[in-house]
């Protein structure tokens, strides 16, 4: 998490200065009586209530038995060039065949004539917060769950129509929301959920209210009750909190290894869990046949996570040359974001503003290190707390063109990100191939009015340039 809106950040700053406002006291009283189980149970009902018919409605009829996309040029997610003169046959939710002979379509197939447009895999965002992306912070702070899930339901549909058919969720109580999408109750992308991000006291994600400090034995904080974070200060608690996320269906585990931008009381240079504690977390994830990804910006935090066996690092904008070399030598993944300017973030104030500037300065350096050491790198947007910012998701993707060719950029946001998702191993919620156009892969695909290999900026305007959006064999948009 990197951003808090300027006009809301005083709520968090107040939590660190020993003072409290009436509204925060009210929040504390209301959520003290609110259990996580009640919160999660309400997700399904709120999601169902938020589902309305529309361009991306999951209440539209299911897909025909077969759909044939004719006259397409194919970017398969892996190549540098397009495959021309092809047709793609979809059966159910999988790609059944790719034919360049343009043979007669099956008699029972729905035919979509693409007029030589480009067909490519759906986009993958490797760092997303499904429930927090488009919800203003006060709605989260006051526990207005009806608004949270109504806003998140609408945003899930918009995310899909921007071309993102899969996201890796890096923090939030998204398990039942994911079920609503997977069952067709609401439209939205596939979700690889982490559940609550695991932090120590004082780490990024510890946004306790003044009334919650010092911690009373057995009493959860507001953020823990909501399932957005879990505070663990012993190895036993750490293992328990991780197992709780896996029990609920986490496909990977997110551990907070250092400070953050949107947590003004935890500076970027700090470290949280010890190496032994991080190693214990990695062991639990391996026992469940999945992996740990560690939130860390500074070199000391990144190196500690690598030494403990973490498979992936989130952010790392402040790491140095030696740390990058170690990351490459160990084959550790980097999941990072090309933050370049204030247009990419909500307005900041106080300590968060200064840290935001650090991240901006670190962005070009980290991509230079990635290229120098050939680090395995995934792309994510990490947009938060602002419905106005959500269209920037596509612009964050095209920022990659500063360091990568158009083909390299498209590979990163399709097949390369899918390789990172595959680290979930037996905990993957979607067994099958993602991020590629090939026989047997999931039918998550886009048809574009133009060639993104020639002009990557086409992706910045999905309303105009995405002619077809299909996810899991179901067409959610078709302007042809």
Which pLDDT tens digit goes with each residue over 409-443? 999 999 999 999 999 999 999 999 999 999 999 99
Burial string for 428-466 (b: 16+ CB within 10 Å, else e) reads bbbeebbbbbeeebbbbbbbbbbbbbeebebbbebeebb
* In contact, 166 and 443? CB cutoff 8 Å: no
Cβ neighbours of residue 99 closer than 8 Å, sequence gap 6 or more: 86, 87, 88, 89
272-275 LR contacts (CB < 8 Å, sep 24+) = 272/199, 272/200, 272/202, 272/203, 272/204, 272/301, 273/200, 273/238, 273/304, 274/304, 275/304, 275/307, 275/308
pLDDT-derived band at 228, boundaries 50, 70, 90: confident
| 353 Cβ contact list (under 8 Å, min separation 6) | none
Residue 89 near residue 97, CB atoms below 8 Å: yes
What's the pLDDT at 467?
98
Q: Beta-strand (E) ranges in 208-303?
A: 229-231, 253-256, 292-298
Decide: residue 143, CB within 10 A, 0-12 exposed, 13-18 middle, 19+ buried: middle
Q: What is the pLDDT of residues 277-311, one digit of tens each?
A: 999 999 999 999 999 999 999 999 999 999 999 99
**Interval 103-131 mean pLDDT:** 93
Q: What is the pTM of this model?
A: 0.86
Residue 213 has pLDDT above 80, yes or no: no
Structure letter (DSSP) for residue 436 = -
State residue 349's pLDDT score: 67
SS3 content of the chain, % helix, strand, coil (to 5): 40, 20, 40
Q: Which of 26-30, 147-151, 325-329, 437-441 has the lowest mean pLDDT?
A: 26-30
Q: Give the bridge partners for 74, in sequence order.
A: 83, 119
Nearest to 397 by CA among 410, 416, 384: 410
The pLDDT of residue 216 is above 80 = no
Strand partners, 83: 74
β-bridge mates for residue 198, sequence order: 230, 255
| Tens-digit pLDDT profile for residues 312-346 | 999 999 999 999 999 999 999 999 999 998 777 76
More reliable by pLDDT, 245 or 6:
245
Alpha-carbon gap, residue 133 to 382, rounded angstroms: 8
Q: What pLDDT sits at residue 170?
A: 97
Task: Give the full edge-to-edge strand order of the sheet including 197-199.
Answer: 229-231, 197-199, 253-256, 292-298, 312-318, 333-336, 377-379
Return the bridge partners of 477, or none.
469
Q: What is the pLDDT of residue 88?
A: 97
> Predicted confidence band at 14 (pLDDT cuts at 50, 70, 90)?
very low
Region of poorest pLDDT, from 88-97, 260-269, 403-412 = 260-269
230 vs 148, which has greater pLDDT?
Answer: 230
- How would residue 147 be classed by pLDDT, with cut points 50, 70 and 90? confident
Quick one: three-class SS letters along 445-473? EEEECCCCCCCHHHHHCHHHHEEEEEECC
Whether the pLDDT of residue 133 is over 80: the answer is: yes
Confidence of residue 183 (pLDDT cuts 50, 70, 90): very high
Domains and their CATH numbers in the chain: 6-51+124-427 (3.20.20.140), 66-121+436-478 (2.30.40.10)
Structure confidence at residue 444 (pLDDT) = 98
Mean pLDDT of the chain: 86
More confident residue, 41 or 478: 478
Residue in 50, 356, 329 with CA at minimum distance from that of residue 188: 50
Query: In this predicted model, what pLDDT tens digit does every residue of 32-91 receive, in sequence order?
Result: 444 444 444 444 444 444 443 334 444 444 545 799 999 999 999 999 999 999 999 999
Would the CA dihedral through 194, 196, 198, 202 be positive or negative?
positive
**pLDDT > 90: what percent of the chain?**
66
């Amino acid at each position: 998490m990197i951003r808090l809106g300027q006009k809301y950040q005083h709520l968090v700053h107040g939590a660190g200065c020993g003072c409290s406002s009436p509204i925060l006291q009210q929040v504390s009283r209301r959520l003290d009586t609110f259990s996580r189980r009640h919160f999660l149970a309400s997700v399904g009902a709120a999601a169902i209530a938020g589902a309305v018919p529309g361009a991306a409605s999951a209440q539209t009829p299911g897909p025909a038995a077969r759909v044939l996309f004719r006259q397409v040029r194919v970017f398969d997610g892996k190549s540098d060039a397009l495959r021309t003169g092809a047709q793609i046959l979809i059966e159910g939710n999988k790609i059944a065949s790719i034919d360049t002979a343009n043979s007669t379509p099956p008699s029972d197939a729905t035919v979509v004539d693409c007029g030589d447009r480009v067909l490519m895999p759906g986009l993958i965002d490797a760092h997303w917060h499904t429930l927090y992306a488009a919800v203003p912070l006060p709605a989260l702070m006051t526990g207005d769950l009806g608004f949270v899930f109504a806003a998140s339901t609408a945003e899930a549909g918009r995310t899909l129509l921007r071309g993102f058919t899969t996201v890796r969720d890096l923090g939030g109580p998204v398990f039942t929301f994911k079920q609503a999408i997977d069952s067709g109750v609401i439209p939205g992308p596939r979700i690889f959920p982490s559940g609550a991000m695991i932090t120590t006291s004082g780490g990024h994600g510890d946004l306790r209210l003044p009334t919650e400090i010092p911690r009373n034995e057995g009493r959860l904080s507001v953020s823990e009750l909501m399932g957005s974070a879990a505070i663990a200060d012993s190895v036993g608690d750490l293992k328990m909190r991780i197992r709780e996320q896996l029990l609920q269906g986490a496909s990977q585990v997110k551990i907070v290894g250092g400070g953050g931008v949107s947590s003004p009381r935890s500076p970027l240079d700090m470290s949280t869990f010890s190496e032994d504690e991080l190693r214990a977390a990695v062991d639990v994830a391996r026992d469940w046949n999945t992996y740990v990804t560690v939130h860390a910006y500074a070199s000391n935090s990144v190196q500690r996570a690598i030494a403990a066996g973490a498979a992936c690092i989130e952010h790392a904008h402040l790491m140095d040359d030696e740390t990058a070399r170690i990351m490459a030598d160990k084959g550790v993944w980097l999941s990072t974001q090309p933050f370049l300017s204030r247009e990419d973030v909500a307005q900041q104030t106080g300590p968060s503003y200064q840290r935001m500037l650090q991240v901006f300065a670190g962005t070009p350096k980290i991509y230079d290190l990635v290229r120098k050491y050939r680090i395995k790198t995934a792309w994510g947007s990490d947009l938060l707390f602002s419905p106005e910012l959500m269209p920037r998701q596509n612009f964050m993707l095209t920022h990659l063109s500063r360091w990568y060719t158009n083909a390299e950029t498209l590979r990163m946001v399709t097949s390369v990100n899918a390789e990172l998702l595959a680290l979930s191993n037996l905990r993957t919620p979607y067994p099958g191939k993602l991020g590629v156009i090939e026989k047997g892969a999931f039918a998550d695909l886009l048809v574009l009015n133009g060639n993104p290999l020639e002009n990557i900026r086409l992706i910045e305007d999905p309303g105009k340039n995405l002619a077809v959006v299909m996810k899991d064999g179901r067409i959610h948009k078709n302007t042809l």
